[in-house]
Amino acid sequence: MLTGQILLRAGLPAEASARAAYIAERWGGADREEAMELWKSVPAEKRVSEILVDRPLPTDVVVAEGMLKSVSCKDQSFVVTLDSDGKLLTLHRQGFPVGFSDTLWVGGAHFTPCLHFNGLRAAAHYKVRADKSYSGDLVSIGFRDNLSPAAKSATADVGAH
């Protein structure tokens, strides 16, 4: 994925879309979602791969994207607060249904979803609670590593030359 992001920012959208398609066709979960995000960011006329289709979600699952405000872990209890377009969502789960960008991984013995994720972009799949004591029951969450705004603005400069 990181190679695909670099290719896109280096003005090589066809190569970036090929990387994204390769990943999306072979992996699931957070990896596929991140690949689909990259693939969709390439203008359609510059994609070299076949059309990729989003996989349908169960009808009771909602997807929210935003910035992670907090993570709380106690024993197997996992609670996240996500700012999704100015709306704070509090999502609960027993266990850790986490996926993450390869650039966030620091080794199996060192990774924990309970630390160092505040301020990252995340995509959460959850089921809305009927009793409204909190926003919903988390099905899965994928943390994303973002390029800095300076790197994004450099993309326009690379593409212009």
Higher pLDDT, 48 or 135: 135
Instruction: Check whether 150 has a pLDDT greater than 50.
Output: no
Confidence category of residue 152, pLDDT binned at 50, 70, 90: very low
What is the β-pairing status of strands 98-100 and 136-144?
Answer: parallel
Task: Report the chain's mean pLDDT, rounded to a whole number.
Answer: 78
Higher pLDDT, 87 or 157: 87
Task: Write down the pTM of the prediction.
Answer: 0.66
Higher pLDDT, 95 or 149: 95
Per residue in 107-118, pLDDT (tens digit) is 555 656 677 677
Instruction: Check whether 84 has a pLDDT greater than 80.
Output: yes
Cα–Cα distance between 74 and 95 in angstroms, integer?
10
* DSSP symbols for 8-64: HHTT-HHHHHHHHHHHHHH--HHHHHHHHHHHHHS-GGG--SPPP-PPPPPTT-EEE
pLDDT of residue 31: 79
The listed CATH number (3.40.50.970, 1.10.10.10, 2.40.50.140, 1.10.260.40) that belongs to domain 62-144: 2.40.50.140
Cα–Cα distance between 37 and 33 in angstroms, integer?
6
Confidence category of residue 148, pLDDT binned at 50, 70, 90: very low
Domain spans, the chain: 2-53, 62-144
pLDDT of residue 88: 94
